Structure 1
């Protein structure tokens, strides 16, 4: 497989990891440049705090210290693009694992493998797990998840709901 390389700045080139698509890599690169307010090619504690605030988070100094300790592998007090790339690459892997877990849960409930969950399948799984949820509660839950009202839950409706965490 050919190595994919990207120019990050006038002074830095990086090999794009094989497990990232070009689109994912570009998202990571773009987010890094948005956080790098002074454009020096590295992220400071101050820039991380501002980025967190923009995202609606309110990390403490202790939170930022922990992040810096985890990500700043060369201990220079900054997060380089390569360090940022590594942590974001790991985040993409975690998202992929979560998607696989959701697909497996859906397939587990979908006993007839038709790509949809019926009320009967939902009742079977919730009864089997001794959830203590009554039939009327299950029916109400089903109606809330079945957003298009077609009497069955497709995968998109499933992942948008809390059904997976309720079942497993």
Structure 2
């Protein structure tokens, strides 16, 4: 999802989200703590209980890596206009960018090209591929429909 945002989100939208992120990141460490977000909600609502509940709810939904901070990618994913991002044309273009050999399916090797900065092992890559596979179609590749399903299943 973050790679898709990088390729498809207009720079203006990314800049606005970045400005908001750094207004909340009071100590400028590149991540938002519960305390920083709590301060923002408390200033707006004036209600300590409501602010705490809202911050807990946000962290339970957005803290993907469960490190008790919201990093910029987590914030960006939560803040982007998913309806615009998930337009058929965008999904198709991004899928085609990943499908380098034009086989109409994405292999683990094709994903590795785009995610070269990660420390995933070969077995980890196979697990990523299996996320998108239908039970009747275990071919170590992700089809376009599986790709769309993976990206939109929680939306």
TM over 0.5, yes or no? no
TM-score normalized by the length of structure 1: 0.42
